[in-house]
Structure 1
Amino acid sequence: MSAFSRNRRRILSLWLPRLPIDRIKRQLWQSDAAPANDDPSIVVAKQNNALQIFALDDAAARLGLDVGLPLANARAICPQLRVFDADEAADAHALNAIADWCDRFTPLVALDPPHGLFLDITGCVHLFGGEAAMLRLLCDVLTAQGFAVSAAIAGTAVCARTLTRHVHGRIVAEGEEADAVRPLPVSALGADAAVATGLRRAGLKIIGDVASRARHEITARFGAGFTTLLEQALGHSDAPISPRKPLPDYIVEKRFAEPVATEAVISATLSGLAKMLVAAMAQQGKGARRLEACFFRTDGAVRTIMVDTGRPVTRPEMIDRLFRERLGALSDPLDPGFGFDLIRLSASRTEIVVQEQRDLDANMHDNDELAALIDRIAARIGGKRVVVHLPQDTHIPERAVLAAPAQHHLAAAAHAAWTPRVEGEPPLRPLRLFERPEQIKVIAQVPDGPPARFVWRRATHAVIRAEGPERVAMEWWRAEGLTRDYFRVEDEAGLRFWLYRDGLYDREIVQEEGKAVQPNWYMHGLFA
Structure 2
Amino acid sequence: MTNACSGRRRYLALWFPFLPTDRLHSHLSPCSPNATPPDAPMALVERMRGALRLSAVNAAALAMGIAPGMALADARALLPDLYVADADPAGDAHGLAQLAQRCLEWSPLVTPLPPDVITLDITGTDHLFGGEAALSAQVEDAFAALGLTLRHALATTPEAAQALARHATTPAPDERAAIARLPVTALGLDSEATLALQRAGLTDIGALLTRPMASIAARFGADAVTALRRLSGEAQAPIAALAPVAPLRFTRRFAEPIGLQSTIAASFAALLHQAAAVLMARDLGGRAFVLTLYRSDGARHRLMIETGQPTRDPALVLRLFDERIAALADPLDPGFGYDQIRLSVPHTEPLRAVQPDLDGAGQASDALAELIDRLSTRLGPDALRRLVPYDSHLPEQAQRAIPAQGNTPAPWPAPPAAEPPLRPLFLFDPPQPVEVIAEVPDGPPQRFRWRRQLHEVRLFEGPERIAAPWWLHGDAPGLTRDYYRIEDKAGRRYWIFRHGLYEEKPDPRWYIHGQFA
Q: TM-score range by the shorter chain?
A: 0.3 to 0.5
TM-score, normalization by structure 2:
0.47
TM-score, normalization by structure 1:
0.46
Which of the pair has more CA radius of gyration? 1
